[in-house]
Amino acid sequence: MSDAAAPLARPATQSIPWLGLAAVLLGTFISTLNGRLSNFGLNDIRGAVHAGFDDGAWITTAQTVAQMLILPVAIWLGGVFGSRRVLIEAALAFAVVSFLEPFSPNLAILLSLQFVGGLASGFFIPLTLSFILRATPPRLWAYGIALYALNLELSLNISASLEGWYVDHLSWRWIFWQNVPLALGMFACFKFGTRPDPSPRNRPKADRFGLLFSGVGLALIYAGLDQGNRLDWLNSGLVCGLLAAGIVLVVAFVVHERRSPHPFISLKVATTQPLPRLLVLIAFLRLTILSTSYLIPQFLGPVRGFRALEVGDTLIWVAAPQLIICPLAAVMLRRMDPRLVSSIGFLLVSFACLMVAHGLTPLWSSDQFLLSQLLQAVGQSLALSGIIFFGILHLKPEDALTFGAALQTARLMGGQIGSAFIATLVRVRTQIASNHIGLHIQAGDGEVLRRLQAYAGAVGRSVDPASATGRATAVLSAVVRNAAATQGVIDGFVVIGAMTALALIMLVAHKSAPIGPASHLPLFSRTSVAQPPPSVTTS
């Protein structure tokens, strides 16, 4: 936000600071978990509303497009009414929508409710980060950022377990209903654990042009990216139209904001070094998270035939250690250069990816992923919390809303671009591997005949001899398919490991951060962080 729109000052103390951090925890947890659960439980949800594959593909898109659309409005409303008030109302709205969604009689109503739910949850990520900086004592900032990073990682990797458990033991409806108590808990923490935001000196006027063009532009780009892999990218007129229209609107927004004397979003904050490079690193990190949240399910599902609950048993080894790593990351941020904390994290992530790429075979099961996932868990939390904290050290408190918007954009766009890139990469590399393997399987070849005879002998015990040959051919086809899919996943891990190494080089090239945010508060000193100086206010 512009300086004119900044609040007068942050309250010196909070009623119950840890309830404020708990609210932040729930907000980021809900925002990431809900979209991921809908993705894992998509087959059950499509069946419940009688939707086909193509129509049902918009169920998850509707929610995240709404989050991108509401992002600029969330920043403006946060500056006008304060983060606390907006988050309280958004949490209540999200609880109501989540309760109603399972009662949707058809796809159209479900998509509408998903869109409204996305509008409500779109406030959570950008405003909870600004709440950490503007409404909690500086000595708790490192813990708040660690919790913020914890939730982004934890919710991604427990969603498969939760979805599988709901479907097996309760009902697919709990994919939505589980958000109700979480959102109400978030409401209670903000309502009873924090004090109202101080009134701003000058309420920012609504820049209708900026709000409309930025929100719609980002939403269109996201929709094009989300549907691109399904519709074959530039071969689809819909995808081309969405991407082109979105880019034009975003460019128009940037030009408008640069020419406006009083922009509602300070582009100077987001374009001043080192924040642009840090946002790129956050987008890179979202890509590395896909090595667990996409590539491992892509292997265990199609290749090994695991159900969602069984896939979740593997991903839980990324989620569970986060509870221990979170306080460790906070302590490290208080006492170490955040670049060092992030560098350690990126090294661990890259090493974990290369471990899997070096040893993965079609015979791997969940146990073989255990060590690499433990390393991945530690690395992801350290890398993300270090990057965000390093960015915060360059901020003035009044820039928190703008940074929250930039972070949300990098998080969603980075994750979506990464998803599209990795999904396309794995698909193409799997096709290439299948073609290469197929070149070595020729009808009448002696080795192929021996392999078919062995398969026929194995399956002939359970079927009649006449159909054994056909079954043997099907088994050989499945072996080729699994080998090709495994190679595609291996290539995905290699690329993610290499990109993580590139991100590490970008990180270590940064200069050290200032001793503190604009107030020059030395955050790494025990004595200095205990009692913040009076100058830690927004101007």
pLDDT in tens, 248-263: 998 988 888 778 776 6
Nearest to 133 by CA among 78, 60, 53, 209: 78
Q: Treating both helix axes as pointing N-terminal to C-terminal, what angle do 107-121 and 83-100 enclose, rounded to 10 degrees?
A: 160
Q: What is the pLDDT of residues 47-71, one digit of tens each?
A: 888 887 778 788 888 888 898 899 8
Asked which of 262-266, 387-391, 525-529 is least confident by mean pLDDT, the reply is 525-529
Q: Looking at per-residue confidence, does 351 or 518 come out higher?
A: 351
Sequence-ordered list of residues with C-beta below 8 angstroms from that of 423, at least 6 positions apart, any chain = 229, 294
- Check residue 37 and give its pLDDT: 60
SS3 525: coil
Inter-CA distances, 466 with 253, 435, 456, 479, Å: 69, 30, 10, 22
Q: What is the pLDDT of residues 108-159, one digit of tens each?
A: 899 999 999 989 988 887 777 777 777 667 777 777 777 777 666 666 667 7
SS3 7: strand
SS3 213: helix
CA–CA distance, 87 with 205 (Å, rounded to integer): 20
Sequence-ordered list of residues with C-beta below 8 angstroms from that of 470, at least 6 positions apart, any chain = none
CA–CA distance, 383 with 200 (Å, rounded to integer): 35
Q: Looking at per-residue confidence, does 243 or 309 come out higher?
A: 243
Question: What is the DSSP annotation of 259-305?
Answer: H-SS-SS-HHHHHSTTHHHHHHHHHHHHHHHHIIIIIHHHHHTTTT-
Which pTM does this prediction carry? 0.74
Is the predicted pLDDT of residue 346 greater than 60, yes or no?
yes
CA–CA distance, 458 with 472 (Å, rounded to integer): 8
Sequence-ordered list of residues with C-beta below 8 angstroms from that of 356, at least 6 positions apart, any chain = 291, 369, 372, 490, 493
Q: Looking at per-residue confidence, does 217 or 52 come out higher?
A: 217
Is the predicted pLDDT of residue 448 greater than 90, yes or no?
no
Average pLDDT, stretch 505-524?
59
Is the predicted pLDDT of residue 508 greater than 60, yes or no?
yes
Q: Torsions phi, psi of 7, nearest 5? A: -65, 160
Q: Looking at per-residue confidence, does 326 or 206 come out higher?
A: 326
Q: What is the pLDDT of residues 2-49, one digit of tens each?
A: 444 444 344 444 456 667 667 767 777 777 676 666 556 777 788 888
Helices (H) and strands (E) in the chain, counts: 23, 0
Across-strand partners of 7? 200
- Check residue 198 and give its pLDDT: 67
HSE-CB at 368 with a 13 A cutoff on CA atoms is 16
- Check residue 518 and give its pLDDT: 36
Across-strand partners of 200? 7
Structure token pair of residue 395: 């901020």
Nearest to 339 by CA among 381, 385, 377, 376: 385
Sequence-ordered list of residues with C-beta below 8 angstroms from that of 8, at least 6 positions apart, any chain = 198, 199, 200, 201, 537, 538
Average pLDDT, stretch 160-171?
76
Displacement of CA 43 from its chain's centroid (Å): 21
Question: Where residue 242 falls among pLDDT bands split at 50, 70, 90?
Answer: very high
Nearest to 376 by CA among 423, 317, 326: 317
Map out the domains of the chain with their CATH numbers.
Answer: 3-205+262-433+482-529 (1.20.1250.20), 214-261 (no CATH)
- Check residue 524 and give its pLDDT: 35
Question: Where residue 94 falls among pLDDT bands split at 50, 70, 90?
Answer: very high
Question: Residue 352 belongs to what H/E stretch?
Answer: helix 338-359
- Check residue 115 and give its pLDDT: 92
Question: Where residue 527 falls among pLDDT bands split at 50, 70, 90?
Answer: very low
CA–CA distance, 344 with 386 (Å, rounded to integer): 10
SS3 200: strand
Interior CA angle at 330 toward 326 and 336, to 5°? 135
Identify the burial level of 281 via C-beta atoms within 10 angstroms of its C-beta, where 0-12 means exposed, 13-18 middle and 19 or more buried: buried
288 within 8 A of 493, measured Cβ to Cβ = no
Of all residues in the chain, what percent carry a pLDDT higher than 70? 74
SS3 13: coil
Q: Output the CA torsion sign for 59, 60, 61, 62.
A: positive
Is the predicted pLDDT of residue 292 greater than 70, yes or no?
no
CA–CA distance, 419 with 407 (Å, rounded to integer): 18
Q: Give me the chain's average pLDDT, please.
A: 76
